[in-house]
Amino acid sequence: MGRTRKRSTRVKRAVAASVALLLGGGGIVAANVYASAGEGWGGKQQPARGTTSLSTIACPEVANSLPAVPDSVRGVMDQQLAILDSQITIAYQRFADSKQRMESDPALAEQQILTPLKNERLNIIQRMIQLLDQEGEAPKNLEALAPCKLREDDEQKGDGQSGGSAGGAGDGANAGNEGDAGNEGDAGNEGDGGNEGDGGDEKEEQGQAGNGPEASDFVDIRSVQPNVKTPRQRSGASRGTFSTNCGTNANGKFNPDNVIVAPGVSNGAHHMHDYVGNQANDAFASDDDLAAGRTTCRNQGDRSTYYWPVLRLQNGQAENDVQADGGGKDKNVGEIQTPSQVTLNFVGNPVSKVTAMPRFLRIITGDAKAFVNGNANANASWSCTGFENRQLKDKYPICPQGSKVVRTFRFQSCWDGKNIDSANHRTHVAFADPNSGRCKNGFRAIPQLVQRIVYNVPPGPGFAVDSFPEQLHKPVTDHGDFINVFDQRLMKRLVGCINEGRRCT
Confidence of residue 136 (pLDDT cuts 50, 70, 90): confident
- How far is Cα 460 from Cα 37, in angstroms, rounded to an integer? 19
pLDDT greater than 80 at residue 7: no
**pLDDT at site 153:** 72
Looking at the predicted structure, is the pLDDT value of residue 494 above 80? yes
Helix (H, G, I), strand (E, B) or coil at 436: coil
Instruction: Kindly calculate the radius of gyration of the chain based on its CA atoms and give it in whole angstroms.
Output: 22
pLDDT in tens, 175-234: 333 333 333 333 333 333 333 333 333 334 578 888 999 999 999 999 999 999 888 888
Q: How far apart are CA 56 and CA 153, in angstroms?
A: 8
Q: What is the Cβ-side half-sphere exposure of residue 181, based on CA atoms within 13 angstroms?
A: 15
Q: In a 3-state reduction of DSSP, which class is residue 370?
A: helix
pLDDT in tens, 104-125: 888 999 999 999 999 999 999 9
Beta strands per DSSP E along 221-361? 241-244, 254-255, 273-277, 305-309, 311-313, 335-336, 341-347
Fill in the amino acid letter for 47.
Answer: P
Q: How far apart are CA 64 and CA 61, in angstroms?
A: 6
Closest CA to 273 of 483, 14, 424, 36: 483
Q: What is the pTM of this model?
A: 0.82
Do 97 and 30 meet the contact criterion of CB atoms below 8 Å apart? yes
pLDDT of 191: 37
Mean pLDDT in residue range 140-156: 85
Residue 162: predicted pLDDT: 38
Q: Are 457 and 312 in contact (CB under 8 A)?
A: no
pLDDT digits (tens, 9 = 90+) for 391-447: 999 999 999 999 999 999 999 999 999 999 999 999 999 999 999 999 999 999 999
In a 13 Å sphere around the CA of 2, the CA atoms on its Cβ side amount to 3
Residue 449, CB-side half-sphere exposure with 13 Å CA sphere: 31
Instruction: Give how far the C-alpha of residue 434 lies from the chain's centroid of Cα atoms, to the nearest Å.
Output: 22
What would the mean pLDDT of 57-65 be, rounded to a whole number?
94
pLDDT at res. 209: 86
Residue 476 has pLDDT above 70, yes or no: yes
The answer to whether 56 touches 153, Cβ cutoff 8 Å, is no
> How many other CB atoms are there within 10 angstroms of residue 9's CB atom?
11
Tell me what pLDDT residue 447 has.
98
Strands 405-410 and 448-455 come out as antiparallel
Q: How far apart are CA 319 and CA 297, in angstroms?
A: 26
- 282's CB contacts (< 8 A; 6+ apart) are 255, 257, 259
Give residue 182's pLDDT.
Answer: 37
Given a contact cutoff of 8 angstroms between Cβ atoms, the answer to whether 328 and 322 are in contact is: yes
**Each residue's pLDDT tens digit, 247-258:** 999 999 999 999
Contact, 362 vs 421, CB < 8 A? yes
Tell me the percentage of the chain whose pLDDT exceeds 90.
70
Q: How far apart are CA 39 and CA 199, in angstroms?
A: 16
Residue 364, SS3 per DSSP: strand
Q: Do 120 and 113 touch, CB atoms closer than 8 A?
A: no
Query: Hey, CA dihedral for 237, 243, 244, 250, is it positive or negative?
Result: positive
